[in-house]
C-alpha cells in the first residue's frame, strides 16, 4: 500500500479527505446507558478529532454540543445539567440541547441571546446508542435504520470499548476471517492443546464458533450498495461440501459478525486518528445476558476494561497483560475475543505503516475494505454522496453463521437479501 493511501485512510480530523467523508454519515457518539437518566452527569467525548459534550436534559432528550463553552471556552463537561439545559460553571451561561442560549447571567441582553447559538448537532437515540451527525448542515443524510433497533431491549447487549489504535486496524481485524480459528483458538477450538478439534457451538452467542477446523479459508468478495459482503469457505469433510460464513461490511465503520443464534454489529468509530470507540451490539431473537457477552469478549477482567469509562487499558509495562505462563493451555495468554482483538490492534502501534505489509490471498476482504473506503473518499471529492449513506433501511443486511452447502452451489444464494439494490 502506498504511504499516501495509508494517510488518506487513517486521518479523520477536520479538513482531511477521510474526515470529510466520515462526516457525511451518522455515527454513534456514546451509548444510551452512558446517559442513564434525565439531568444525569454530562459526558465528554471525541468524534473524528473534535471534542463534544453529550447530555440528557430534564425531559430525557439528548443534546450534542461542542465541548468548549462559546463564551470563554471552559469545558461544558464540568457544567450543571438542570432545568432543561446544561449550564457552564464559569459564568452560568445555559444552553438547551439545540444550542439555544437560555440564560447569560453576566450579560442580561435578550437580543444577544437570540442572535447567537452554541454549536449543536442533530441527535437520534436508537438501538441503545446515541447517534449524531457532525457534517455539513445542508448535506445531512437520512438516519439509517439497523436491524438491532428492533425487538425488546433484553434481546440486545450494547458495549462500548475505547481503544488506543486507529479505527482501521480494528476494522480490518473484523473482516479477517482467517484469524478467527487461530487468534481466537480458545473460543474457536477449546481442545486445540490436544491437537483435536471441538466445535464451540454450545455458546450460541460465540462469534468465534467455527464449525470446521480449516484455518485456510478461501475468500470471495462481492460489492454491494452499502459496501460489500464476503464469504469465507472452509473444507467441510467431503469434497462436495463446504462450510460458508458470510460477513457484510456497511460503510463507513460497521461489519456484522455471525454467531450461532446472534449477530454482532460492530462499529469502529474514530474518536481521533489514534483512538477508536468500538460499539459492539449483540442482537438476536431471544434474551441475552450482558454478563455473558462481557465474559466471552474478555471484558470481565478489570485490568483491561472499565465499564464506567468504557476505556480499554493495555500497556507494554506489563506486556499488554499477557500471561505467558498460561500459554500451555491458553493459546494467547489472554482471555476473550474482544480482549484479544483489541490487544493485537494496540500492539501494532497507534497507526500501522501498511507499506511494510506482505498481504496474501486470505487478506482479500481487507484489501476490499481499503478500496471501498477510498472509493467513498473519491465520491465525496467528486461532489457526490458517499457510498451507501442514502440507504434508509439496512434491515435486509445479514451475516450468515457457518453453514454447510454443496460446493457446487453459489454462496450468494444463501444471502440473497444482502444483494438487494436499494434505490437512492
Ligand atoms: S466560559 Fe462559559 S459562561 Fe463563561
Ligand atoms: Fe478477532
211 pLDDT tier (thresholds 50, 70, 90): confident
Residue 413 has pLDDT above 60, yes or no: yes
∠ Cα 59 90 134 (to 5°) = 55
Residues in a beta bridge with 112: none
What are 323-332's pLDDT values in tens digits? 999 999 999 9
Task: Name 370's Cβ contacts closer than 8 Å, sequence gap at least 6.
Answer: 1, 5, 9, 168
Task: Name 406's Cβ contacts closer than 8 Å, sequence gap at least 6.
Answer: 240, 241, 242
User: Across residues 414-420, what is the average pLDDT?
Assistant: 94
Q: Do β-strands 85-87 and 129-132 pair in parallel, antiparallel, or remain unpaired? A: unpaired
Distance, CA of 358 to CA of 418 (rounded, Å): 31
Lowest-pLDDT range of 90-104, 179-193, 267-281, 350-364: 179-193
Pick the ligand that lies closest to the CA of residue 91: 1
State residue 423's pLDDT score.
53
CB 372 within 8 A of CB 25: no
Q: Tell me the domain boundaries of the chain.
A: 26-139, 147-419
Residues in a beta bridge with 163: 276
Does residue 113 have its Cβ closer than 6 Å to ligand 1?
A: no
What are 18-38's pLDDT values in tens digits? 999 999 999 999 999 999 999
213 pLDDT tier (thresholds 50, 70, 90): confident
Mean pLDDT computed over every residue of the chain: 96
Residue 421 has pLDDT above 80, yes or no: no
Burial class (CB in 10 A: 0-12, 13-18, 19+), 316: exposed
Pick the ligand that lies closest to the CA of residue 173: 2
Q: Which CATH architecture has domain 26-139?
A: 3-layer Sandwich (2.102)
Instruction: Choose one of 67, 79, 90, 113 to mutate for the ligand 1 pocket test, by most ligand atoms within 8 angstroms of C-beta.
Output: 90
Q: Given its phi and psi angles, is residue 174 left (phi above 0), alpha (psi -120 to 50 degrees) or beta?
A: alpha
Does residue 88 have its Cβ closer than 6 Å to ligand 1?
A: yes
Does residue 93 have its Cβ closer than 6 Å to ligand 1?
A: yes
∠ Cα 312 315 320 (to 5°) = 90
Query: Where are the alpha helices (H) located in 348-384, listed in sequence order?
Result: 364-381
pTM of the predicted model as reported, rounded to 2 decimal places: 0.97
Q: What backbone torsions phi and psi does residue 162 show, to the nearest 5 degrees?
A: -95, 115
| Residues, CB within 5 angstroms of ligand 2 (ion) | 341
**Can you read off the three cell numbers belonging to residue 359?**
498481504
Does residue 70 have its Cβ closer than 6 Å to ligand 1?
A: no
Residue 200 has pLDDT above 90, yes or no: no
Task: Name 7's Cβ contacts closer than 8 Å, sequence gap at least 6.
Answer: none
The domain 147-419 having CATH identifier 3.90.380: the answer here is yes
What are 103-142's pLDDT values in tens digits? 999 999 999 999 999 999 999 999 999 999 999 999 999 9
Amino acid at each position: 500500500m502506498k504511504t499516501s493511501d495509508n494517510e488518506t485512510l487513517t486521518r479523520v480530523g477536520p479538513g482531511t479527505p477521510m474526515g470529510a467523508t466520515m462526516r457525511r454519515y451518522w455515527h454513534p457518539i456514546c451509548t444510551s446507558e452512558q446517559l442513564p437518566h434525565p439531568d444525569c452527569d454530562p459526558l465528554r467525548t471525541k468524534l473524528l478529532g473534535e471534542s463534544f459534550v453529550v447530555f440528557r436534559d430534564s425531559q430525557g432528550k439528548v443534546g450534542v454540543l461542542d465541548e468548549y463553552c462559546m463564551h470563554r471556552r471552559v469545558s461544558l463537561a464540568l457544567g450543571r445539567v438542570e432545568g432543561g439545559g446544561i449550564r457552564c460553571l464559569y459564568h452560568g451561561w445555559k444552553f438547551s440541547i439545540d444550542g439555544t442560549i437560555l440564560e447569560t447571567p453576566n450579560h442580561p441582553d435578550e437580543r444577544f441571546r437570540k442572535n447567537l447559538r452554541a454549536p449543536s448537532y442533530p441527535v437520534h437515540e436508537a438501538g441503545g446508542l446515541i447517534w449524531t451527525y457532525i457534517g455539513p448542515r445542508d448535506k445531512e443524510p437520512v438516519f439509517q435504520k439497523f436491524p438491532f433497533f428492533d425487538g425488546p431491549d433484553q434481546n440486545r447487549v450494547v458495549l462500548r470499548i475505547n481503544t488506543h489504535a486507529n479505527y482501521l486496524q480494528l476494522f480490518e481485524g473484523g473482516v479477517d476471517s482467517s484469524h478467527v480459528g487461530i487468534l481466537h483458538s480458545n473460543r474457536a477450538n477449546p481442545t486445540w492443546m490436544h491437537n483435536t478439534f471441538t466445535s464451540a457451538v454450545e455458546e450460541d452467542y460465540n462469534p468465534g464458533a467455527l464449525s470446521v477446523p480449516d484455518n485456510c479459508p478461501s475468500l470471495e468478495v462481492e460489492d454491494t450498495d452499502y459496501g460489500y459482503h464476503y464469504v469465507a469457505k472452509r473444507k467441510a469433510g467431503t469434497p462436495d461440501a463446504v462450510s460458508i460464513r458470510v460477513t457484510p461490511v456497511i460503510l463507513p465503520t460497521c461489519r456484522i459478525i455471525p454467531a450461532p443464534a446472534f449477530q454482532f454489529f460492530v462499529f469502529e468509530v474514530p474518536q481521533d486518528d489514534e483512538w477508536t470507540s468500538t460499539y459492539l451490539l449483540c442482537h438476536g431473537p431471544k434474551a441475552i445476558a450482558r454478563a455473558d457477552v462481557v465474559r466471552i469478549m474478555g471484558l470481565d477482567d478489570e485490568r483491561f476494561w472499565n465499564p464506567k469509562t468504557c476505556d480499554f487499558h493495555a500497556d507494554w509495562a506489563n506486556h499488554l497483560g499477557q500471561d505467558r505462563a498460561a500459554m500451555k493451555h491458553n493459546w494467547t495468554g489472554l482471555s476473550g475475543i474482544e480482549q484479544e482483538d483489541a490487544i493485537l490492534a494496540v500492539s501494532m502501534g497507534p497507526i500501522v505503516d501498511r507499506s511494510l505489509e506482505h498481504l496474501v490471498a486470505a487478506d482479500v476482504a481487507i484489501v476490499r475494505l481499503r478500496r471501498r473506503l477510498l472509493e467513498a473518499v473519491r465520491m465525496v471529492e467528486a461532489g457526490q454522496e458517499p457510498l451507501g449513506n442514502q440507504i434508509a433501511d439496512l434491515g435486509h443486511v445479514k451475516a450468515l453463521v457457518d453453514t454447510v452447502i454443496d460446493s457446487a452451489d453459489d454462496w450468494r444464494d444463501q444471502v440473497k437479501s444482502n444483494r438487494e439494490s436499494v434505490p437512492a
